[in-house]
Amino acid sequence: MRKDIIACNHVSKVFHTARGEVHVIDDLSLTVEENELLVLFGPGQCGKSTLINCMSGLETVSDGEITVDGKKVEKPGPDRGVVYQRTALFPWLTVMGNVEYGPKVRGMNKKKRRELAEYYIRLVGLEGFENSYPNQLSGGMQQRVGIARAYCNEPAVLFMDEPFGHLDAQTRYLMQEDLIRIWEKEKRTVVFVTNNIEEAIYLADRIVVLSNCPTTIKKEYQISLPRPRDYVDPEFLKLREEISAVVDKTL
């Protein structure tokens, strides 16, 4: 049995603004198992990104506690990687420079970090582009660099905040396939945020459906469909209909 690596215990988040308090997360409790691919699914602006920012340490919780591998999350750490919708690659660095940046900052020797970066560049299918700059790459290729960069830090947990949201449909499907291939090979814990129901079902071991803001958990679905999954499989379509029925509509 897999152990729980992330635990959110009665987590709430309130932002204090000029217009007053904005309650984004409301008394949310959640665990994520080691090596699980968990999808947080819900309507736009419901608090999904805030939740993973709290898990990754980029935001502090207002109430409750989050632990990763038993340690309280109070700030970002190398055990947690984040991939965003916009990759935020360093434009002045090559693919190799971007991917090996984390290990370099941590003081890993050049030979070891280069070997590690080369491995992840191959894994995401960018071999031959090591010396290219971000502006020379397509959107999908840039996102692959972002994924390789995150994996190269060797985090225990990888958070992905709608990483394929700005890609065209065909590229998005290809990236979903690539993500599953990489995840099955590397077996890291992945928490993936999306508001696309087909993407959620295609990727997830488990889907956590979140409510409108202030967000809390509405329902969870364990997805047992075999991989690779088929978007037009009757069981896939049945799940899509069932999950759609419980999702809050965006106000």
Q: What is the pLDDT of residue 20?
A: 86
Q: How far is CA 177 from the centre of its chain?
A: 15
Residue 145 lies in a domain: yes
Spatial separation of the C-alpha atoms in residues 105 and 108, rounded to whole Å: 8
* Kind and range of the H or E run holding 16: strand 4-17
Residue 199 lies in a domain: yes
For the chain, the average pLDDT equals 92
Say if residue 145's pLDDT is above 50: yes
Say if residue 13's pLDDT is above 70: yes
Spatial separation of the C-alpha atoms in residues 143 and 149, rounded to whole Å: 10
Say if residue 248's pLDDT is above 80: no
Spatial separation of the C-alpha atoms in residues 26 and 167, rounded to whole Å: 31
Residue 110 lies in a domain: yes
- Percent of all residues in the chain with a pLDDT value above 70, rounded to a whole number: 98
Q: What is the pLDDT of residue 18?
A: 87
End-to-end CA distance of the chain: 40
Q: For position 94, which CATH number holds? A: 3.40.50.300
Q: What is the pLDDT of residue 165?
A: 84
Spatial separation of the C-alpha atoms in residues 249 and 43, rounded to whole Å: 7
Residues spanned by the domain of 162: 36-59+74-246
How far is CA 27 from each of CA 14, 61, 119, rounded to the nearest angstrom?
11, 11, 41
Residue 9 lies in a domain: no
* Kind and range of the H or E run holding 198: helix 197-203
Spatial separation of the C-alpha atoms in residues 131 and 154, rounded to whole Å: 22
How confident is the model over 38-51, as a mean pLDDT? 92
Encode pLDDT of 93-104 as tens digits: 999 999 999 899
Q: Give the start-end residues of each E strand in 118-237.
A: 157-161, 189-194, 206-210, 217-222
Residue 194 lies in a domain: yes
Residue 26 lies in a domain: no
How confident is the model over 19-45, as a mean pLDDT? 93
DSSP class of residue 215 equals B
Say if residue 171's pLDDT is above 90: no
Q: What is the pLDDT of residue 55?
A: 96
Spatial separation of the C-alpha atoms in residues 110 and 204, rounded to whole Å: 36
Q: Is the pTM of this model over 0.85?
A: yes
DSSP secondary structure string for all residues of 123-144: HTT-TT-TT--GGGS-HHHHHH
Looking at residue 115, its amino acid is E
Domain count, the chain: 1
Residue 193 lies in a domain: yes
Q: Binning pLDDT at 50, 70 and 90, where does residue 251 land?
A: very low
Burial label, 86 (beta-carbon count in 10 A; 0-12, 13-18, 19+): middle
- Percent of all residues in the chain with a pLDDT value above 90, rounded to a whole number: 73
Encode pLDDT of 209-243 as tens digits: 999 989 999 999 999 999 999 999 999 999 999 99
Q: Nearest Cα to 82, choosing from 7, 150, 153?
A: 150
Say if residue 133's pLDDT is above 90: yes
Residue 144 lies in a domain: yes
Residue 3: count of CB within 10 angstroms of its CB: 10
